[in-house]
Amino acid sequence: MNYAKNEVLTPELQQHAAFAKTFAHPARIAIPDYLAEQNECVSSNITEEIPLSRTTVSQHLQELKNAGLIREPFQEHAFITASKQMKF
């Protein structure tokens, strides 16, 4: 029996997969944990706590923002806020 891909892979399943993909990298688990402890911080503070370059942290923050897990837009000197519910 053949099924069309969109019949089996519903938008809801695709959304779940996209959310899971957000946490496919350990840094994207460590960053929300750190943010949940701090409640808010400047993005450069993350590089002091997590041994990653600013560029790498920025890329991971963008992925978290795209997934809707970071509530505030971020820039290098802007505050980042995260929900306490993000703690793993």
Q: Where do the domains of the chain lie, and which CATH numbers do they carry?
A: 23-86 (1.10.10.10)
Give residue 41's pLDDT: 77
User: Is 78:42 a contact under the CB 8 Å cutoff?
Assistant: yes
pLDDT (tens digit per residue) in 49-85? 899 998 999 899 888 888 888 766 554 444 455 544 5
Integer CA distances (angstroms), 71 to 27, 40, 46, 63, in order:
18, 10, 16, 12
Rounded CA-CA distance 59/28 in Å is 10
**How does DSSP assign 38-65, residue by residue?**
HSEEEHHHHHHHS-S-HHHHHHHHHHHH
Mean pLDDT value across the chain: 77
Give residue 76's pLDDT: 47
Better pLDDT: 5 or 33:
33
